[in-house]
Structure 1
Amino acid sequence: MHRDQSPLQARTAPELVPSLFLDLDQMLDEFTPLPIRAEFRFDPDMPAVITVEFLSERGPSLIWRIGRELLHHGLTSMSGCGDIRMWPALPRERPSSWLLLESQEVEVLFEVPAAPLALWLDTTYRVTPAEAEMDGLNWDGFLMELLEGPATPPE
């Protein structure tokens, strides 16, 4: 997955899986954390993808779409490649994982508390198990959008 640059917004199902708000540490350098809040959203219509919005006190928030499996595996082992990677931090007071996001515009490292994310992800898997993630996908529509690009809004 990659940083969201489209006007599309993921729908959520708060009655099934409420958003998870987590306080993360954005690492400015090796020793300087900057607290930041993030909202994790699950859409049962797109269960393989978690929308993460990094909320900023100043300026616009940043939205990334991250594979649910990548987040799940990143809690216990190295996961992902390319733009998004996640791996467990060395044992410390509170279990956590590192989440690295990279694009042409940004490279940022976050420390993510593992326990609340793990519980929340387990809830999403109870709603839509991993083996059912692709069941409702409209492959023809998905491929057409990939080949033709997003539709242009009428003038």
Structure 2
Amino acid sequence: MHPDQSPLRAHPATEQVPSLLVDLDLMLDEFTRRPLQAEFRFDPGTPAVIGVEFLVERGASRSWNIGRELLHRGLTSMSGLGEVRMWPTLPGGPPSSWLLLESPEVEALFELPTAQLARWLDATYRIVSAEAEWDVLNWDGLLDELTGGPGTPTDA
């Protein structure tokens, strides 16, 4: 494997899904919302992970990597646990979902439209199906990276 080639990347796919720019709301408290945008990115070389960049008007943007399956399931039911969770809002309003991101430094709750995200996720699954998303990994390279490479002594 070439030193610049990540074991988590596959051969480049011929089809691409353009990134998705979504208007969403950051919930500052129960009654206060701050509108902002997020850009969702799909890389067929790492199809199980969606990159999300939260674009803020002032200051640095924030990026998170979120499981594609978690996002897909979160459109219709509770999904995820720990640092990333997503679930649909209550019926009665426009279709949307809550996305909760937690880390030691930050906790953020977003409301995002589901129809736009659902169409975009469907396009990603047409390029790399859920069944095939783990097939693109270079498992030997990943194992070498996790173990320190072939022939690397281990502590016994």
TM-score, structure 1 normalization: 0.83
Aligned counterparts, 1:131-150, within 5 A: 131-148=131-148
Offset at residue 143 of structure 1 (A): 3.0
Q: Structure 1, residues 25-48: CA drift from partner, whole Å, max 9, x if none?
A: 000001111001000000000000
Aligned counterparts, 1:1-155, within 5 A: 16-148=16-148
Runs of 5+ consecutive residues of structure 1 not aligned to the other structure: 1-9, 149-155
Contact 2:40/2:50 (<8 A) preserved: yes
Q: Distance in 1 between matches of 2:98 and 2:138?
A: 33
Contact 2:18/2:41 (<8 A) preserved: yes
Q: Distance in 1 between matches of 2:14 and 2:132?
A: 20
Rg larger in 1 or in 2? Answer: 2
Q: Distance in 2 between matches of 1:80 and 1:143?
A: 26
Kindly, what percent of the aligned residue pairs are identical?
69
Amino acid at match of 1:20: L
Q: Structure 1, residues 100-127: CA drift from partner, whole Å, max 9, x if none?
A: 0000110000001000000000000000
Q: Distance in 1 between matches of 2:14 and 2:33?
A: 31
Q: Distance in 2 between matches of 1:120 and 1:40?
A: 9
Higher relative contact order, chain-length normalized (CA < 8 Å, sep 6+): 2
Q: Distance in 2 between matches of 1:13 and 1:100?
A: 31
Offset at residue 145 of structure 1 (A): 3.0
Return closer, same or farther for 1:25/1:129 CA change in 2, 3 Å cut-off. Answer: same
SS at match of 2:131: helix
Q: Distance in 1 between matches of 2:42 and 2:68?
A: 9
Count of matched residue positions in the alignment of Structure 1 and Structure 2: 138
Amino acid at match of 2:38: A
SS at match of 1:115: helix
TM-score, structure 2 normalization: 0.83
